[in-house]
Amino acid sequence: MKRAVCTRYECRKLLFAQRGIWLIAAAVCVQILICLTARFHAYNYTFDTNAYRIYAERFAGPYRAETAAEIAEELAEQINNANTPLPDSLTADEYAEFSANISLAQSKIAVLQEISAHYSTLEHTGGDMCYDLELCDLIARFSVNWSSLLCIAVLTVLILLGDRGCGMEQILFPTKAGKRRIQAAKLLTAAVLSAVVTALCLALQWGIFGVRWQLGKWDIPVQSLTGFFGCALQITVGQAILLASFMQIMAAVSAAMLTALCAKLLKKEIPAITAAVMLIGIGAAISGQIPQTAPFLLWRSLSGMSALSGASARDVIVSLLFMVLRLTFILGAVTNESMLRW
């Protein structure tokens, strides 16, 4: 009961006395602005996304050898059209029409090559052919939610070092029991707010992009998406989004606790935030250079759905287990009685 009262007090103090509510509002506004102004990037300037959509819908469904042959036949036809020799004695209008047909055939070749490559991966993965350009672009470019991460880092430092900055420590920490209880309340507040802020930003991201773009079907196997043929999880696209969001929220809580540990050790706002960002950056570099370490690092969980592109159930379990162990270690370190000398 006393811990709940302390937690509510710490939450109100952070949100209103320390103006944390304005920081959260700023993060939400940034998230909305990013989602409203983001533009879909085609593979290149000559890639016809409308043609890709038409072909993807035409060949939609589970892998069939007949469909694969039809795609190959269509590709061969367009290559033949693109290699048509220039006839002699063309008028200006006829030449313009001929050039337009060649350009159209070349554009369709680029699209059909992507369609063919995507379709060939479905033979052994059990996925469905689907239109997924916008969704894959979203996964690639907006996996890490930087607005919520920066907000969480600053909020965590505020709640842990704010009392020290204004000289309130001696009033709030009159006894060892009081120190322990208040420290636990601070950490719980940081964990809850980090989860709420991340969930809110993710909901805004998926909601706005879902309205703006045709993200495709969410009830088909996740292996249907380009780049996800290596995913060993037997789940749908929608289930993968929910799982990735849960992992991202858990990782955000871990990032908040990591920032809390940095604040505990460094006792300064800017150095604590800088150290936390550096640790996450180091994790990103290591997971990029040594993919085998990815399940053990916080970064892969922070990277959202892209973390599942080649994941197995073991990778997900190991990643979640290490996040729980990391949380347990950090909570023990921050609330350790011998370290409560702020």
59 and 29 in a single domain? The answer is: no
Last residue in a domain, options 131, 165, 180: 131
Last residue in a domain, options 131, 156, 189: 131
pLDDT at 2: 57
Q: Mapped to the 3 state alphabet, what secondary structure does 280-334 carry?
A: HHHHHHHHHHCHHHHHHCHHHHHCHHHHHCCCCHHHHHHHHHHHHHHHHHHHHHH
140 pLDDT more than 60: yes
pLDDT at 177: 47
Mean pLDDT of the chain: 85
337 pLDDT more than 60: no
pLDDT tens for each residue of 293-316: 877 888 888 888 988 988 889 889
pLDDT at 59: 95
231 and 261 in a single domain? The answer is: yes
122 and 258 in a single domain? The answer is: no
Helical segments of 59-145, H only: 65-82, 92-125, 133-141
Last residue in a domain, options 99, 131, 163: 131
170 pLDDT more than 80: no
Looking at per-residue pLDDT, the higher value among 164 and 122 belongs to 122
Joined together, the tokens standing for residue 23 give 């920081």
Q: Domain total for the chain?
A: 2
Domain annotation covers residue 166: yes
Domain annotation covers residue 136: no
243 and 118 in a single domain? The answer is: no
Considering only 18-27, 42-51, 166-175, 218-227, which range has the smallest mean pLDDT? 166-175
The model's pTM is: 0.85
**Which H or E run contains 61?**
strand 61-62
Identify the CA nearest to 11 among candidates 146, 162, 169, 201.
162
25 and 58 in a single domain? The answer is: no
306 and 272 in a single domain? The answer is: yes
Exposed / middle / buried, residue 27 (Cβ in 10 Å: 0-12, 13-18, 19+): buried
269 and 120 in a single domain? The answer is: no
29 and 65 in a single domain? The answer is: no
183 and 243 in a single domain? The answer is: yes
182 and 202 in a single domain? The answer is: yes
Q: What angle do CA 326, 331, 332 make, to 5 degrees?
A: 100
308 and 175 in a single domain? The answer is: yes
Start-to-end Cα distance in the chain = 25
Task: Round to whole Å and give the CA distance between 250 and 56.
Answer: 35
Q: Which domain holds residue 308?
A: 2-38+142-339
Percent of the chain with pLDDT over 90: 37
